[in-house]
Amino acid sequence: MPSWSSPSHSAYGEADLASLTRRFVEASRRAEIVALVNSVTTEAEVAGVAVDELSEAFDAEVVFVIATRPRHGERSFIGSTGIGAGACARLADDPLCVAALTAERAQVHAGEDLLGVGARQVALSPSTTGNGRQLLIGVGRLYDEPFDASELALLEAVTTSVRHGLARAWLASDRERQAARESALARSARSLTASLDGRDVLQTLVEEVARGLEADTVTVFTGDAPNKLRLVARAAPPESEASDAVSMAEHLSAEAAREGQVRVVQPKPSGSHDGANGRAPLRAAAAAPLRTSAMVGALSIAYRDDRWIEPEDLDLLAAFAELGSIAADNAARLAAAQRAASLDSLTGCLNHGAFQDRLREEIHRAKREDRSLGLILVDLNDFKAVNDDFGHLAGDALLNAVADALRRSVRSYDQVARYGGDEFAVLLPNTDAQTARGVLDRARSAIALIESPVDVTMSASAGLALWHPGMDADTLIANADAAMFESKRARRRGLATPDRRADPPPPEATERDRHQVRRLNTAAGLAVRLGRLLDQRAIVEAAIIGLGSELGYASSVLAACEEDGGLRVVATGSAQAPGATAPVPADAAPAVGQPASESISAALRRCVTERRLVSAEGSAGSEIAVPIYVGGALWGALGVRVEGSMELDDYDAQVLGGLADQLGAALRTARLYAELDETHLGTAAALAAALEAKDHYTADHARSIAELAVAVGRELGLSERHLRDLRYGAIFHDIGKIAIPDAILNKPGPLSESEFAVVREHPRVGEQILAPVPFLAGVRQIVRHDHERWDGEGYPDRLAGEDIPLGARIVLVVDAYHAMRSERPYRRALPAAEARRELLRHAGEQFDPRVVRALLAVLESRAIGSAGNAGL
């Protein structure tokens, strides 16, 4: 915190005090907006907070945030107020905005109808993220009040904060999107192999692609040739049934199928967004080829917004298409295998096994629907003689001729089966006795009319049986067999072709890949948590613990660069033990920590020297080290190691590289936040200096108890946010004394009752002084209630016990102890031991006993640690 000299009483007049107060409010407002921006995580939230807060802070009717797309430079609105949808597109191309994007500092403009939105005063503040994305925040007033220097400073500070907030949001979004895509791909591999029906496979494919790539429309076109494609599967909202979706997808799919590579149509930079029936037309689309042993086709995606289809999107689409091709081929092969397994290879009729299955299905249906069922068994007479006299080829030709004759003589829904050898079966669903006899007669006649390939006359014996309730399949077959006019009991029974199994699932569905996807998801979750932390020590500890306990690396180390070019370990951890950390100073380059040791490996040193990812293999195991950049400067490196036969691979490099990026961004944000906090404390000290002009003891006393109050709060386990409120509360706890007349404030003797009544008002006055600063909402409660007593006899609200805010209870005890140990005009300071006894004597009456014990514990530890502090 900056040091502040003690100005004389005459150095501060009312104007100076007003100026200091204004500066304090401005800095507080700036810190409040920055804190709000840092508290949200998505692009829309960051832009929304910035727009809302700047609109209020500047009393501006128009506020907007523009960002360029990565790699393409197209400008898009991510947040605005006071601007219609149509004006947004025009405003992004306004010359003032285009020029401001490349400016180095904020610019102001005055005129008539600026930016085409009626603004008379405009301030534009540009910035550029680490990956080259340009950012512009604009504030416009529809009235003639120029922006002053303090407002421009606030706008630039908020722009910097928004830039970091958006960088965090974009990075987290990219990580989450990548993890979601990996999960979608793995899930798709499982889903596609779960079904072996061709149509189900393709429908599952389009649904998974729609989820994984967030597409408005997904289609699959297949056919025998690229110019003969037809739509076979689609995933789209109901309103997307329009012909433009099918037309664009079909055209692009034909190109992809013909050329055998991914084809893409990107959105045009400008143009109408109005489509048929008021819907936006498709503006971007891509198609990847599908190819199986039996067909060609393409998988396509389309979007109705200005989304740019990135190379990563195309890679994922191609991966989906490859998975779909494999799954569709598997389904086609299985369908062919199932057909082959159910058909007699010679005649094309149902084989014996398939006939048995179909017979039982039809019996079950007849029972359920109360329908009739008939069965005809046909046996060729003297067929053995054909084989013996003319050979098996002649016999096979005759069997084919009989099968064709039977198929011609039955109805379309009847089933003809080769029951075995020279025996056939005809299954007659929903058939009464008369109709069944008609089919039987036609069958006999058809066989008799066969033109035999050999010089013989063919005849057949046939038997008909009708199913009745309670009859099973075997009984029905036995009845049909017994009904044959001339039977041939001795025959061979054919065996069904065994089912073929589908090809094994593609490698994307293996357990290893599922494990890697889970690790990517875990890393993405850890990165998001790092981005939400604002304390550098907490960031380092969370990162090192996550590497071990969540990601499972055997050992991990964080090392920071030193000014002399060396490395210093700031944190180490393992999968078995929690992380051990050394202090991380505000400049993110530790000056105190563990000395360089075996934790600094050769790979870690090379990583820092060469400023790139380094992997190494050795007898001790496999290791990867990645550099960490904070604000564009090399901060240090992160290294992990696995032992034994385990190896680190590209997935680990991807995980660690992303985590290092997020770690650097989080440390950068924490550093900026700490700097803002110090600035805020400095402004607070300036306001306290104004109090010092009235009462030197009060100002010095406030600074002295702040550190001790925070130590007590930490002893009681308060969070960092509450510790910060406590620090400000201790500094400002007597700020209301500014309103007390000097004659009362500096009176050498005891105060009268009327004078004490004036003094008792200062907590309320202090709260009112801090009221314009929303950032200090938690502090105001401490300032108002730090003179309340545990027994309820304090002021101004006579709160008691736990109803008093804990911060106020802490400040009261620390304040009392410091007062007893300080010289005052009306009494001498008490010795340390006596002051501590007084605290214990009034614990449970004036003071919270738990807070008293905590303060004594802090004093005791300081006495043990340093004899010089024992006299505090």
Q: Which residue has the higher pLDDT, 84 or 414?
A: 414
Same domain, 748 and 612: no
Half-sphere exposure of 738 (CA within 13 A, CB side): 24
Domain count, the chain: 5
Boundary-marking domain end, from 616, 642, 661: 661
Query: Which tokens belong to 808?
Result: 């106020």
Same domain, 554 and 620: yes
- What is the Cα 341 distance to its own chain's centre? 47
Can you name the residues that pair with 64 across neighbouring β-strands? 80, 138
CATH of the domain at 158: 3.30.450.40
Let me know: does 500 contact 337? Beta carbons within 8 Å: yes
Per-residue model confidence as pLDDT tens digits over 294-328:
678 889 988 887 778 888 888 888 888 887 777 77
In sequence order, which residues have a C-beta less than 8 Å from that of residue 78 and are 6 or more positions away?
43, 44, 47, 65, 66, 67, 166
Same domain, 119 and 162: yes
Confidence of residue 273 (pLDDT cuts 50, 70, 90): very low
Check residue 3 and give its pLDDT. Answer: 42
Closest C-alpha among 39, 332, 59, 35 to residue 200: 332
Check residue 85 and give its pLDDT. Answer: 66
Mean pLDDT of 76-91: 79
In this structure, of 266-270, 441-445, 591-595, the range with the lowest mean pLDDT score is 591-595
Closest C-alpha among 305, 308, 316 to residue 133: 308
Same domain, 388 and 425: yes
Q: Tell me the average pLDDT of the chain.
A: 77
Q: What's the first-to-final CA gap in the chain, in angstroms?
A: 22
Residue with tokens 């003589």: 409
Q: Is 9 part of a structural domain of the chain?
A: no
Closest C-alpha among 76, 137, 89 to residue 117: 89
In sequence order, which residues have a C-beta less than 8 Å from that of residue 541 and are 6 or more positions away?
571, 579, 581
Task: Give the percent of the chain with pLDDT over 90.
Answer: 15
Q: Is 175 part of a structural domain of the chain?
A: no
Same domain, 848 and 720: yes
Distance separating alpha carbons of residues 49 and 63, to the nearest angstrom: 11
Check residue 474 and give its pLDDT. Answer: 86
Domain range holding 790? 695-869
In this structure, of 428-437, 579-588, 795-804, 816-825, the range with the lowest mean pLDDT score is 579-588
Residue with tokens 């006894």: 837
Closest C-alpha among 508, 515, 528 to residue 658: 528
Same domain, 643 and 718: no
Same domain, 772 and 628: no
Per-residue model confidence as pLDDT tens digits over 533-583:
777 888 888 888 888 888 888 888 999 998 888 888 888 887 665 555 444
Can you name the residues that pair with 614 across neighbouring β-strands? 625
Q: Which residue has the higher pLDDT, 512 or 86?
A: 86
| Pairing mode, strands 229-235 and 263-265 | unpaired
SS3 category, 249: helix
DSSP structural state of residue 735: G
> What letters, b where the CB count within 10 A reaches 16 and e where it falls short, cover 34-64?
bbbbbebeebebbbbbbbebbbebbebbbbb
Distinct helix (H) and strand (E) counts, the chain = 26, 20
Provide DSSP, 272-299: ----GGGPPPP-EEEEEEEE-SS-EEEE
Distances (CA, A) of 694 to 6, 19, 731, 761, 843: 11, 17, 16, 17, 32
Check residue 553 and give its pLDDT. Answer: 84
Q: Is 474 part of a structural domain of the chain?
A: yes
Same domain, 811 and 714: yes
Residue with tokens 């993890």: 179
Mean pLDDT of 694-701: 51
Q: What are phi and psi of 733, to 5 degrees?
A: -60, -25
Per-residue model confidence as pLDDT tens digits over 462-476:
888 999 988 888 889
